[in-house]
């Protein structure tokens, strides 16, 4: 159905006068009458009651007047929105992230996106590395932030910050009452770490630092949630190893020791795919600028 026909119908519905409506539409009255009859035939309903003196809307016409206006308004909105999305000024950007990123740079990134692109909605999902790789490839997210990335070939990545790891133990842990004895002293301790399925890249890094200290960690609890792991540590159910930034702003009864002499670091990376470069080029460039300008 031609949108011009809907506009002409609305004009007639508002004026209820064929001569006046046709004059305002700059078209001949017979042409308008013919157009309205064809519209009624295509719908299968009488929209106007006519006699020699008056024109009025039927109940069906009253309903269709409202529906036609809504249709035109929605079409105009969709056209404007499509244009905005094409130019990177509207739509939504879907971001996956790991816990430590939301504790640090992610809020700054979201603020800058909303300041520069106020019509863009951000959709945030806390995810492990593996899920981010998959969802980037399947276009379910547009940008990812992960730690110790081993990304597949179809995913692009760039390290933007390296953090030290910290050993996290209950505040009253017996081995931390004096000077830190070194990681090897914790070989018999119970560890709380993610499962390989949830973060093989990260787990591999933790295991490698423990192996260099002469042991493989005895993992008794698996959780991909940093907050859950820290609460379990606080309850005395084991110890864990986290990037230092993961603990920013947390108020828990924990003892945290920086592993400064450990060569492994928590490498924070931004992830994206080719579709991100095409569909969200301006936002991706903004995010990279924020990352580069952020204090280390």
Asked whether residue 134 falls in the same domain as residue 273, the answer is: yes
pLDDT digits (tens, 9 = 90+) for 250-274: 778 899 899 988 999 999 999 999 9
Domain holding 108, by residue range, is 90-161+268-293
- Of 90, 141, 87, nearest to 114 by C-alpha is 90
What average pLDDT does the structure give for the chain? Answer: 90
Cα–Cα distance between 43 and 97 in angstroms, integer? Answer: 51
The alpha carbon of residue 176 and the mean position of all alpha carbons in its chain are separated, in whole angstroms, by: 40
Residue 121 maps to which CATH number? 3.40.190.10
Residue 55 structure tokens: 């024109």
Confidence of residue 136 (pLDDT cuts 50, 70, 90): very high
Specify the pLDDT at position 77: 83
Same domain, 151 and 272: yes
Percent of the chain with pLDDT over 90: 62
Residue 228 and residue 151 in one domain? no
Helix (H, G, I), strand (E, B) or coil at 71: helix
Band (pLDDT 50/70/90 cuts) for residue 47 is very high
Mean pLDDT (whole number) for 230-253? 88
**Within this chain, do residues 105 and 193 fall inside the same structural domain, yes or no?**
no
Q: Do 15 and 73 share a structural domain? A: yes
- Stated pTM of the model: 0.68
Of the pLDDT bands very low, low, confident and very high (cuts 50, 70, 90), residue 99 is confident
As a whole number of angstroms, the distance between CA 94 and CA 83 comes to 19
**What's the total number of domains in the chain?**
3
Per-residue buried b or exposed e for 72-82, using 16+ beta carbons within 10 Å of the residue's own CB: eeeeeeeeeee
Return the structure tokens found at 244.
């230092």
pLDDT digits (tens, 9 = 90+) for 182-234: 899 999 999 999 888 777 778 899 999 999 999 999 999 998 888 899 999 99
């Amino acid at each position: 159905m031609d949108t011009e026909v809907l506009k002409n119908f609305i004009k007639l519905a508002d004026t209820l006068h064929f001569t006046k409506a046709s004059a305002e539409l700059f078209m001949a009255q017979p042409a308008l009458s013919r157009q309205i009859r064809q519209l009624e035939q295509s719908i299968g309903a009488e929209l106007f009651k006519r006699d020699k003196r008056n024109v009025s809307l039927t109940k069906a016409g009253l309903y269709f007047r409202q529906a036609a206006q809504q249709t035109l308004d929605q079409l105009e909105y969709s056209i404007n929105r499509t244009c905005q999305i094409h130019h990177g000024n509207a739509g939504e950007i879907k971001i996956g992230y790991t816990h430590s990123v939301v504790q640090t740079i992610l809020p700054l990134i979201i603020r800058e996106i909303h300041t520069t692109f106020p019509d863009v909605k951000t959709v945030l999902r806390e995810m492990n590395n593996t899920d981010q790789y998959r969802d980037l490839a399947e276009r379910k997210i547009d940008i990812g932030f992960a730690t110790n990335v081993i990304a597949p070939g179809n995913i692009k990545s760039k390290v933007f910050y390296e953090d030290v790891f910290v050993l996290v133990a209950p505040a009253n842990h017996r081995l931390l009452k004096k000077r830190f004895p070194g990681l090897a002293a914790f070989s018999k301790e119970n560890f709380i770490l993610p499962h390989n399925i949830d973060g093989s890249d990260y787990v591999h890094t933790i295991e490698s630092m423990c192996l260099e200290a002469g042991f493989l960690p005895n993992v008794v609890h698996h959780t991909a949630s940093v907050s859950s792991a820290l609460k379990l540590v606080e309850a005395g159910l084991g110890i864990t190893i986290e990037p230092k930034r993961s603990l920013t702003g947390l108020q828990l009864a924990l003892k945290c020791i920086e592993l400064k002499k450990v060569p492994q670091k928590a490498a924070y990376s931004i992830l994206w795919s080719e579709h991100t470069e095409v569909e969200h080029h301006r936002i991706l460039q903004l995010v990279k600028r924020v990352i580069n300008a952020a204090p280390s």
